[in-house]
Amino acid sequence: MEPKIVFTGPPGAGKTTAIAAISDTAPIVTDVANHDTGLAKARTTVGMDYGTVALEGGEQVRLFGTPGQERFDFLWPILVKDALGLAILIDNSRPDPVADLRVFLKSLGPVLSKLACVVGVGRLDTHPRPGLEDFIDELAAAGRMFPVLPVDVRKREDVLMLVELMLAQAEAKNMGEQA
């Protein structure tokens, strides 16, 4: 079975954009007109996004994106089921991006120990605070240790770096379990 990677994070963090940046086919998206006045965007995901990417060596990876609004948090564990890895995308221009990370750590807590996971922080160029160390501290406070990287979800190479880090973690974890 092809590996499955899930992109999650708050609204506007770039899940749909990240999948579009690396998918080898036009992604399937479930965006609709946004009627939530608290979100400064015209469209928002209400189901999931889906794409695929072939990595070097020909390995196919299925890509899923979750909706970001907390009212859809019931979908997050469903979409993460049987995933190899999880990318939590954070938009550093939001009012409290560290609290955004906390929401996903809490909601997905039970499955995080089973998955390879990375945190990608976007818009650091225009919003340098909080810094990456603040996200690392939040992870440590939650008893988690995941790579935290700056990411521009529009750039294929940035998103592929997240995917490759997850695959390397998953491979290392699998080797550790076999030893």
Beta strand 43-45 with 31-33: parallel, antiparallel or unpaired?
antiparallel
Please report which confidence band the pLDDT of residue 48 belongs to, taking 50, 70 and 90 as the band edges.
Answer: confident
The pLDDT value recorded for residue 57 is: 83
**Is the pLDDT score of 150 beyond 70?**
yes
Domains identified in the chain, total number: 1
Name 93's Cβ contacts closer than 8 Å, sequence gap at least 6. Answer: 123, 126, 127
Cβ neighbours, 10 Å, residue 143: 10
The pLDDT value recorded for residue 34 is: 60
The pLDDT value recorded for residue 32 is: 63
Q: Which residue segment(s) compose the domain that 30 sits in? A: 4-178
The pLDDT value recorded for residue 179 is: 62
Average pLDDT of the chain, as a whole number: 90
pLDDT tens-digit series, residues 73-118: 888 999 999 999 999 999 999 999 999 999 999 999 989 989 999 9
The Cα angle at residue 45 between residues 100 and 79, in degrees rounded to 5 = 75
The pLDDT value recorded for residue 33 is: 67
Beta partners for 87? Answer: 7, 118
**Is the pLDDT score of 42 beyond 70?**
no
Q: Do residues 119 and 101 lie in contact, with contact meaning Cβ atoms separated by under 8 Å?
A: yes
CATH number, domain with residue 99: 3.40.50.300
The pLDDT value recorded for residue 97 is: 98
pTM of the model: 0.90
Please report which confidence band the pLDDT of residue 19 belongs to, taking 50, 70 and 90 as the band edges.
Answer: very high
The pLDDT value recorded for residue 40 is: 64
